[in-house]
Amino acid sequence: MTSQLFRPLTLDGLQLPNRIVIAPMCQYSAENGSATDWHLIHLGNLALSGAGLLIIEATAVEPEGRISPDDLGLWSDENEAALGRVLDAVRRHSDMPVGIQLGHAGRKASVHSPWNGSRQRPLDDRGWQTVAPSGLPINPNDRPPLPLDAAGLKRVREAFVATAKRAVRLGLQMIEIHCAHGYLLHQFLSPLANQRDDAYGGTLENRLRFPLEVYEAVRDAVSAHIPVGVRVSGTDWVDGGWEIEQTIAFAQALKARGVSFVHVSSGGVSPEQKIPLGPGYQVPLARAVKAATGLPTIAVGLITEYEHAEAIVAGGDADMVGLARGILYDPRWPWHAAAHLGASVKAPKQYLRSQPRQLKELFES
């Protein structure tokens, strides 16, 4: 039987050779937002993995939108040139489709990198004043963010558009807007972070308004041939927070506006979250969105076993499977999955001799 995980898929004209997606993973290794040699090594390695799509890490649309001072950005000519250098090198050796995730950290910005504790940085130690829907810090001892006023909302919308246009100039083939993990657009969605009393807060319709405005602005700014999708947190895992029924309403509103896909994750907006970690713990969220909307969906979250990934796609839970930490641990995961499932995968010609003798059909010519 043909593996469903290795069937091709087309998203708004973008052809993917299989259903394995390398999910965005922050590297905290940029310089003033610009990609470095680390990104060349990191993305180059992943681009040889045989996956169907590679999505570049959350990329800030303005300096204040970075999670840490070391985050990747795409707000300046210097950022664009640096990422262009990386992409040029990657493309010389791989034809894997490459997309990018655009984001703004909001109140979760201005922190140390994870290996330095992820605490909020002081203003005199490479820190900055954060912004958010409301003046609520994520941690009680953090500096309160400044609520975005009309001018701030306009600035952020325009920053997403300008960054999307830079991504198109770089030849990136897909754009994902980050509305998950407690970052700015998720903060507007969740009643735990959004306590505004204007047109952008209160009711579900109002809380959807700004994320939808950003999506529409980006969608209008790029070619219809470039898929534009959204990453969502299916639930906050906190009583009284954002939950799957609201996620479905958001996805339906996005579908009405032509969204190309939804990438379903969860959590991130509150330290009070209680996440039931386990293999595929977020798959039911992707299944619910797909069942209610029919949209192409990406499922992600502790998916490490080949048969599990196959079952997710074959069973209709999601159209694609996202790998993050798992593919950092095993950058040849798609090769091994293809071998296990009796499929074939693309490999660089320099590696063709590594094909095991008993798997003569593993590598595509």
Q: Which amino acid is at 291?
A: A
Locate 49 and state its tokens. Answer: 């993995």
Please give the helix or strand (H or E) that residue 17 lies within, else none: none
Residue 175 has a pLDDT of 98
- Neighbouring residues of 208: CB distance < 8 A, sequence distance ≥ 6: 189, 249, 250, 253
* C-beta separation of 217 from 160 below 8 A: yes
Residue 169 · residue 138 · CB < 8 Å: no
Give dist(CA 250, CA 242) in Å, integer.
11
Residue 297 DSSP symbol: E
Q: Residue 137 contacts by C-beta under 8 Å, 6 or more apart in sequence?
A: 107, 143, 144, 145
Specify whether the CB–CB gap between 352 and 42 falls below 8 A. no
Domain extents for the chain?
9-354
Task: Report, as ranges of residue numbers, the positions in the chain whose pLDDT lies below 70.
Answer: 1, 365
E strands, 97-147, are 98-103, 131-132, 146-147
pLDDT confidence of residue 364: 87
Extract the tokens encoding 244: 């799957």
Q: Cα separations (Å) of 105 from 84, 99, 145, 268?
A: 23, 19, 11, 11
Tallying the residues shown for the chain, one arrives at 365
* Amino acid occupying residue 185: L
CB 147 within 8 A of CB 132: yes
* Residues ≥6 apart with Cβ < 8 Å to 315: none
The residue with tokens 């996005």 is 254
Report d(CA 190, CA 241) in Å as an integer. Answer: 6
* Torsion sign, CA atoms 133, 149, 178, 69: negative
Query: Which residues carry out catalysis?
Result: 183
Topology (CATH) of 9-354: TIM Barrel (3.20.20)
Among 85, 101, 103, CA closest to 53: 101
Residues 49 and 9: beta-carbon distance below 8 Å: no
Q: What is the pLDDT of residue 1?
A: 63
Could you tell me the CA-to-CA distances from 54 to 17, 24, 181 in Å, in that order?
A: 12, 8, 19
What is the 8-class DSSP label of residue 181? T
E strands, 171-292, where? 175-179, 228-233, 262-265
46 burial level (CB within 10 Å; 0-12, 13-18, 19+): buried
Q: What's the number of CA atoms in the CB half-sphere (13 Å) around residue 58?
A: 28
Please provide the distance, in angstroms rounded to a whole number, between the alpha carbons at the two ends of the chain. 21
**Alpha-carbon span 27 to 100, nearest angstrom:** 14
